[in-house]
Structure 1
């Protein structure tokens, strides 16, 4: 039986909407698939600190998004360099403050080629991983509760 090395990560479904219409979510294009910004927890930081830091780093902005509500956690396993990892990712619904001017610069050292606002409906069909579809479905439910 292989030993699974645990990894803790956090990220966000960053959203914007006008007049409670269907939201757009901030998506990243990395290694040939659409993804959501996330990354590994660093020593000494909280899960929430990790989530906002990773989102800001991966989309290349200095402003930190604000956590609006928690989302379901995901888990997946992968192999890298002969090591088997089990990654738990904590997700949050987030928004950037309204008064912040945003210009995105993809974090190319993480393999990110594009950063784009995509409608939630379209993002649900574009994301390249099944667990992200579940994250977006959970986001949609929380968003509806949040806006009604």
Structure 2
């Protein structure tokens, strides 16, 4: 019998610099992603996404001017599990990121972070996440240069 699909929830975070937009990417090994984590039993996915952002980045001032819109990835394998990642879209004014320590790992989950424009984000992200980025660019009205 196929195991149930595991849902992760995260946030594509936009920070505006004048007319320019920057997207927050996190790196573990050579893989770039947006902040996200698994939805715990009984937890609302949006609450998970906000919690994961706080734990992984220290960002606490998320605003959702576009509402609670989200996009989900097609199912993908992560180890032996089948997962779907749901991403919400939020705005922050907080530039400083603190890569939080995961108590289970005893170290930060991520090796690096970058605030990048959409063009650079497109080059760093893998094929599975590029549609998520394009959705966020379209929904936030951030163009390729900004």
TM-score by length of 1: 0.79
User: C-alpha root-mean-square deviation of aligned residues, in Å?
Assistant: 2.2
**Residue 46 of structure 1 pairs with residue 44 of structure 2:** yes
Please report how far the alpha carbon of residue 75 of structure 1 lies from its aligned counterpart in structure 2 after TM superposition.
Answer: 2.5
Verify the 8 A CA contact 1:11 1:90 in the aligned structure 2.
Answer: yes
In structure 2, distance between residues paired with 1:132 and 1:92: 13
Verify the 8 A CA contact 2:73 2:86 in the aligned structure 1.
Answer: yes
Aligned to 2:89: 93
Verify the 8 A CA contact 2:7 2:85 in the aligned structure 1.
Answer: yes
In structure 1, distance between residues paired with 2:59 and 2:70: 24
Please report how far the alpha carbon of residue 19 of structure 1 lies from its aligned counterpart in structure 2 after TM superposition.
Answer: 3.4
Equivalent residue in structure 1 for 2:98, among 96, 105, 113? 105
Aligned to 1:136: 133
In structure 1, distance between residues paired with 2:112 and 2:81: 27
Equivalent residue in structure 1 for 2:56, among 55, 58, 69? 58
More strand by percentage:
1
In structure 2, distance between residues paired with 1:131 and 1:49: 23
Seen in structure 2, the aligned counterparts of structure 1 residues 140 and 58 have a Cα distance that, compared at 3 Å, is same
Q: Which runs of 4+ in 1 moved over 6 A?
A: none
In structure 1, distance between residues paired with 2:34 and 2:17: 21
Aligned to 1:29: 27
Aligned to 2:13: 14
Seen in structure 2, the aligned counterparts of structure 1 residues 143 and 87 have a Cα distance that, compared at 3 Å, is same
SS at match of 1:139: helix
Query: Unpaired segments of 5 or more residues in structure 1?
Result: none
Query: Unpaired segments of 5 or more residues in structure 2?
Result: none
Aligned to 1:5: 4
